[in-house]
Structure 1
């Protein structure tokens, strides 16, 4: 069964969520009071009730991200504490915890693997909710969880409000000289001026191509000083997270975070990050020297952070005689989508059929996924940037695969990006990095949409360890530079010409341009994330830690006014707290799997099917490392990551 996405009554959605929470609270004692407390009589019905409520909450949460308004903000803010309190109450229910443990023990011989994982994960979560602790401690844990949820929402909303409140209008042609035509068309106002904002497509257009250095600095300063009030929120968030960790018996929040991940300790994570930094930092330093020397030829004697994108683009053009803008006519959005679907058909036998369904924005597209003629799931694509839409790109799961009273519930998911806006005069033309982003988010989507597991807590991306959840997304994005893939959809939007081999060669040459600098930047974020979660730190402490991490691993040192942390929503308003390292950790897995495919010519039927059945179909039903070993017969090797970035001195 596939549902319709309804946007016409958000107030009704909010009320329905609250009613469903009330219903679960009323049904739970009845379920727990059953004489025969089995998986099918207690756990499955409870999970079904929770899933029904979560489906409705996802609608409201999704609208808050893609169709933000004062009404949606208010409704979301009203229901969020109720949701948080509900899950906290559920996680602290002593009798429910005993039932989970009882069923896990009594039915161990008859439960299947996904069902055991549901129970094992739940028992772990009970511990993380404070089960068995005194009532006053449990009450405090719940208060903390509700408050943290509210603070994360405030953080995110402050960032969006700050992004929306800034614009820079330019009226001199010399200030926009060299900016690609498509970006200028997007920036052009009705009176012939040019409007630039802090939304990513607009911001990066000027930072990469804008000729006026002082304007670049103004934009950079506005971007890196957004939402200063988030500094105090960070202080409050860290204080509460560490209090929560200590109440649950952990030394600090890092230990709590790692309790549900593949990595076994903070020591393991820090060693992984610092070992990688040691292997690539010297290369990154040489890259920075090259960049600085080239900057001098442009009249920039001292390279600053706000020059980096501009000078990098100029150096890439000079060194490779290549301008990424030259590729955009070959990556028209609709062609990229249809071609990507062709590639996925060849890789996994998937068929994407466009369908008509209710959506929240007229440009949103909807596709039903089939394999071997069988309907699997539904995908929503929301590509173009809008003022009422959060920045960035993400995949959001809506329905999980399930079966209720013999009725099959099929998975659904949203892929959201912020690509250039199409107009009546110009289609949405993507940069190659946008194509990579689409492949990345499609990797997440396939992980959710292709599952065959019918237990929602471990179906699709649910139940996947956080430091492995990026494995399928990063795996798929690696194919976005392969010639055989690019030729499927790389067509000039005016002439129909296939993307030339010479251009693909340039893309491959430039893919790892300044890659060591990119790696140390991600390591900077990852180390910062771990270190600030070790103790209770003030706003000033947090900034000091970030500066020290930069001294340890960074090669581009930002100006003192930079407050990157106030916009780091991944860890303060998302799921990556003390877990941002997961991107690089999972990238080792994805690089290893990618080269296994490349070594067999990409489309090896046996390997393609093994990946589909062991990784995509299994979802979160087994430990991610177990599934990886089953796929390749060994543990992942970090050398594959260094090989991926062509850092030859290091592997």
Structure 2
């Protein structure tokens, strides 16, 4: 039997092959279209049960087939699967549009809202109906004739362009390979990084068995490798070479994304016009917590004003160290993070490599699970072997409540596989929680990271930054898994305004600077020794190191994104330069084409929405402030505050507007002051 058609909640990832995709998608499309026709033809007055529950069942079938294919395309991106995915994509887009643009469905939704059924619905059900009505509007429900036909063609082309954009970035990243043979080439790189590069060479050149100390070493643009070279390589020419390669990815030849960017922006603007908006930012903000471009700009400008001065002072301090260490003159872009790292080590007295042995992935997971037990009252247990996985290294876990009841599950795909896995880290829902007349279905999530895999007897050892990444993605997972809502389109992260989605993830990062939490998991993988307390204090003090420069970097992305999506006829290069002049301490090199690999806004769902990271950081810092006020060392207060956070932020999901959810937790609207205090920018 085709594993995509088995109808089970947990996909049979290990059985899915490229040849299964076309058959499964065709049968799914036929079944969903038949079901849609049946619902549309139903002449009875619509009710929640006859309309929404029936739609949920169709949407489940859609997700059962397509979600595993889309997931495997990211974590097992092989040529045959990619071809199958791209061949099926137009049918999937067409079906999505058919569901979103069904006039009979839209009329039935309005009939519920305007009729007697509305009074019988609870707040979550009403929010679900409103969410569907807005989605229908943004799907072009009001369009007819040539306008509707044009809108649909735009959606199909945008889908194909986004997919091509991502593939070009993956391919361009994969294409860069630099073999190093001289020991001087890797001077400064931590032992773990040299080991990673030697392992990378061995994987690409079997049966070679390079040694971490004598090489050869293979440098790629895979993120852990790039960051290691950027931050630690003493060889300035090597830093320059990999920097130039990184910021020019997918910007030339067959993999050039520049033409795609222009076309994507043009199509989005046309789409906005068809929907009645002045620009694509209007489309984006229709489903965001921020009410207008003006409100977004006000926050970004507030943060920019706070960060600009400190960032300049930080650059002076970094430059002074470089000059005193024998590198004269102004810093180049490939010097900034290298010398910033040296200054950080000098100020705080530890290196990434000294910390890494204390953060084995298993210990980090154990500490993270213990934390959520303390503050949210849940238990996480390994359940490997109870679910089919797409890679032998993928783990499976179950989540239980205080009474021992199973409430959710999740997969963890932790390790980097640059040959066929997208870089970065993310969380996706596999199964949404659903409670309906036919029973209850528990939520399931997938957490994906790109950590250095174990080598021999050595476990996967994380940098401190990677520890925060693990907590970040688990925060997303918690919101998906601890939802109290039973309607899939507003359960967990579904239906949440996109600029509030990062609240739980960024909230969880704060706990990496909490003494009990960090020291509870920071155990040396060989000796079992706990990280010294004085080292923890240095880590905590370093949390605001370079806060100005790092803030400007994120504001550069956010302001560029918003400018591209509000300009009538955007001159991409001019906008890049104009924003960079306000948000960079060292001007970008002329060849810099970072937008060509900016998947977040061109293929990752953050178009005119990248500001959401900072928006949510304001929310998350302010939320963590409630725990600080309650007392981080008071177990009872933490448990009480955690229960409130779980009931509101994690529990309500998309069933209540995030501004109301935040007020319910915090007792007041959000403020940027806590974020600026945490960043050390409030007092400067």
Distance 2:371 2:587 in 1: 41
Deviation of 1:405 (Å): 5.1
Distance 1:407 1:13 in 2: 29
Distance 1:177 1:258 in 2: 48
Equivalent position SS for 2:683? helix
Aligned position for 2:481:
449
Alignment of 1:185-264 (within 5 A): 185-188=195-198, 189=201, 190-191=209-210, 192-228=215-251, 229-264=256-291
Deviation of 1:56 (Å): 2.3
Aligned position for 1:61:
70
Alignment of 1:545-564 (within 5 A): 545-564=575-594
Deviation of 1:13 (Å): 4.3
Contact 1:2 1:410 in 2 (8 A): no
Aligned position for 2:24:
16
Aligned position for 2:413:
382
Larger displacement relative to structure 2 (329-338 or 81-90): 81-90
Aligned position for 1:487:
519
Deviation of 1:18 (Å): 2.8
Contact 1:64 1:73 in 2 (8 A): yes
Distance 1:225 1:13 in 2: 34
Aligned position for 1:595:
625
Equivalent position SS for 2:500? coil
Distance 1:5 1:367 in 2: 16
Contact 2:677 2:683 in 1 (8 A): no
Distance 1:648 1:530 in 2: 25
Deviation of 1:203 (Å): 1.1
Distance 1:484 1:332 in 2: 17
Equivalent position SS for 2:431? coil
Aligned position for 2:120:
110
Deviation of 1:404 (Å): 5.4
Deviation of 1:139 (Å): 1.1
Larger displacement relative to structure 2 (389-398 or 401-410): 401-410
What's the TM-score once normalised by structure 2's chain length? 0.93
Aligned position for 1:517:
549
Residue 310 in 1 paired to residue 310 in 2? no
Alignment coverage as a number of residue pairs: 648
Distance 2:34 2:45 in 1: 19
Q: Which of 13, 30, 51 lines up with 1:6 in the alignment?
A: 13
Contact 1:335 1:490 in 2 (8 A): yes
Larger displacement relative to structure 2 (420-429 or 239-248): 420-429
Distance 1:299 1:270 in 2: 42
Query: Could you report, residue by residue, the CA deviation over 1:229-277 in whole angstroms, capped at 9, with x for unpaired residues?
Result: 1111000000000000011111110111111111111111112111210
Q: Which of 395, 400, 422 lines up with 2:432 in the alignment?
A: 400
Give unmatched runs, 5+ long, in structure 2: 1-7, 202-208
Query: Could you report, residue by residue, the CA deviation over 1:102-144 in whole angstroms, capped at 9, with x for unpaired residues?
Result: 1122211101111111110111111112222232111111111
Alignment of 1:340-355 (within 5 A): 340-355=368-383
Residue 150 in 1 paired to residue 160 in 2? yes
Distance 2:299 2:366 in 1: 39
Distance 1:221 1:23 in 2: 50
Distance 2:344 2:476 in 1: 31
Residue 624 in 1 paired to residue 663 in 2? no
Distance 1:157 1:594 in 2: 38
Larger displacement relative to structure 2 (330-339 or 46-55): 46-55
Equivalent position SS for 1:29? helix
Contact 2:21 2:84 in 1 (8 A): no
Query: Could you report, residue by residue, the CA deviation over 1:593-615 in whole angstroms, capped at 9, with x for unpaired residues?
Result: 10111221234222111111111
RMSD (CA atoms):
1.4
Query: Could you report, residue by residue, the CA deviation over 1:314-346 in whole angstroms, capped at 9, with x for unpaired residues?
Result: 111122222122111110111111121111111
Aligned position for 2:138:
128
Distance 1:537 1:385 in 2: 39
Deviation of 1:15 (Å): 2.3
Residue 433 in 1 paired to residue 456 in 2? no
Query: Could you report, residue by residue, the CA deviation over 1:265-316 in whole angstroms, capped at 9, with x for unpaired residues?
Result: 1111112111210121011111111111212123332201111121111111
Deviation of 1:537 (Å): 4.0
Query: Could you report, residue by residue, the CA deviation over 1:351-371 in whole angstroms, capped at 9, with x for unpaired residues?
Result: 111112221111111001111
C-alpha distance 353-4 of structure 1, shift in aligned 2 (>3 A)? farther
Give unmatched runs, 5+ long, in structure 1: none
Alignment of 1:244-323 (within 5 A): 244-300=271-327, 301-323=329-351
C-alpha distance 423-213 of structure 1, shift in aligned 2 (>3 A)? same
Divergent runs of 4+, >6 A:
none
